[in-house]
Amino acid sequence: MALNSVSYLNGGDLKKTAKDKKLLKQAISVMDEGFTVLEKSGYTIIPASPVTFIRKYRRLAYLREMGRWFLC
């Protein structure tokens, strides 16, 4: 998922970003909102798997990103 830009808010520090629960949850919510805007505008998101993953498994998406950044 394209959440790497969120680390910019912490000066590029991925470990610090991984510990910022509020920021990660907000980033995941923003991704879902972006998907919704695109769909309502008539665009089809290809591949659809990121949309499904964010909407059905929001908590798992959060844990996945947190773990990915923590291992950096």
Average pLDDT over residues 10-38: 85
pLDDT at position 1, please?
47
Cβ-contact 31, 24 below 8 angstroms = no
Q: Above 50 in pLDDT, residue 67?
A: yes
Which pTM value belongs to this model?
A: 0.67
The encoded tokens of residue 26 equal 């907000």
